[in-house]
Structure 1
Amino acid sequence: MSDDSQRPIIVKRIKKGGHGHHGGAWKIAYADFVTAMMAFFLLMWLLGSVSKGNLKGIADYFNNPFKVASQGGSGAGAAESLIQGGGRDLTQDAGQMKKGGNEETEIARDRKRLSELKRKFETMINDKAQQNTKLAQFKSQLRLDMVAEGLRIQIVDAQSRPMFKSGSSELEPYARDVLHEISQLLNDVPNAISLSGHTDAQQYAGGQSGFSNWELSAERANASRRELIAGGVANQKVLRVNGFAEEVPLDTKNIYNPVNRRISIVVLNKDAEQDIRDQAGMGDDGAASAVAPKAPTQ
Structure 2
Amino acid sequence: MATPLQPIIIVRKKKRGGHGHHGGAWKVAYADFVTAMMAFFMVMWLVATMPQEQLGGIADYFKNPSAVEGKSSSMAPGRAGPGGAGEAPIKMFDHARKPPDASPIRKPGAMDQQSGAAQKAGDEADRRKLEALKRALEEAVASSQALAPFKDQLLIDITPEGLRIQIVDAHNRPMFDLGSPTLKDYTREILSELAGYFEQVENRIAISGHTDTSPYTGRSGYSNWELSTERANAARRALVAGGLSEDKLSRVVGLSSSVPFDRNDPDSPVNRRISIVVLSNAAERSAARVDSGARVAQVGAKIAAP
Amino acid at match of 2:135: R
2:148 paired with 1:126: no
* Equivalent in the alignment of 1:98: 114
Q: Distance in 2 between matches of 1:274 and 1:91?
A: 25
* Equivalent in the alignment of 2:217: 205
Q: Assess, with a 3 A threshold, how the Cα gap between structure 1 residues 154 and 91 changes in structure 2: closer, same or farther.
A: closer
Q: CA deviation at 1:79?
A: 8.3
Q: Distance in 1 between matches of 2:193 and 2:292?
A: 33
Aligned residues: 211
Q: Distance in 1 between matches of 2:105 and 2:159?
A: 41
RMSD: 2.9
Which of 207, 215, 232 is equivalent to 1:195?
A: 207
Instruction: Give unpaired runs (5+ residues) of structure 1.
Output: 1-69, 284-288, 291-298
The residue matched to 1:95 in structure 2 has which SS? helix
Cα displacement string for residues 152-200 of structure 1 (whole angstroms, at most 9, x for unaligned residues): 1000001111110011101001000000111110011111110000011
The residue matched to 1:250 in structure 2 has which SS? coil
8 A contact 1:78–1:99 mirrored in 2 = no
Q: CA deviation at 1:266?
A: 0.5
Which of 258, 261, 271 is equivalent to 2:272?
A: 261
Q: CA deviation at 1:279?
A: 2.9
Which of 286, 291, 296 is equivalent to 1:280?
A: 291
* Equivalent in the alignment of 1:57: none
* Equivalent in the alignment of 2:51: 72
Q: CA deviation at 1:236?
A: 0.8
Amino acid at match of 1:109: A
2:230 paired with 1:219: yes
Amino acid at match of 1:231: G
Q: Distance in 2 between matches of 1:146 and 1:81?
A: 38
Amino acid at match of 1:269: S
Q: CA deviation at 1:101?
A: 1.6
Q: CA deviation at 1:102?
A: 1.1
The residue matched to 2:152 in structure 1 has which SS? helix
2:247 paired with 1:236: yes
The residue matched to 2:244 in structure 1 has which SS? coil
2:123 paired with 1:107: yes
Q: Normalising by the residue count of structure 1, what TM-score does the alignment of the two structures yield?
A: 0.64
8 A contact 1:196–1:264 mirrored in 2 = yes
2:189 paired with 1:182: no
Q: Normalising by the residue count of structure 2, what TM-score does the alignment of the two structures yield?
A: 0.62
8 A contact 1:80–1:95 mirrored in 2 = no
Q: Distance in 2 between matches of 1:88 and 1:273?
A: 36
Cα displacement string for residues 42-65 of structure 1 (whole angstroms, at most 9, x for unaligned residues): xxxxxxxxxxxxxxxxxxxxxxxx
Q: Distance in 2 between matches of 1:170 and 1:199?
A: 14
* Equivalent in the alignment of 1:59: none
Deviates most, 247-256 or 258-267 = 247-256
8 A contact 1:77–1:96 mirrored in 2 = no
The residue matched to 1:143 in structure 2 has which SS? strand
Q: CA deviation at 1:259?
A: 0.7
8 A contact 1:135–1:178 mirrored in 2 = yes
Q: CA deviation at 1:126?
A: 1.2
8 A contact 1:79–1:96 mirrored in 2 = no
Amino acid at match of 2:209: G
Cα displacement string for residues 86-113 of structure 1 (whole angstroms, at most 9, x for unaligned residues): 9971489972222122111111111111
8 A contact 2:164–2:278 mirrored in 1 = yes
Q: Distance in 2 between matches of 1:91 and 1:273?
A: 28
Deviates most, 158-167 or 267-276 = 267-276
8 A contact 1:197–1:245 mirrored in 2 = yes
Q: Distance in 2 between matches of 1:78 and 1:144?
A: 40
Q: Distance in 1 between matches of 2:109 and 2:216?
A: 63
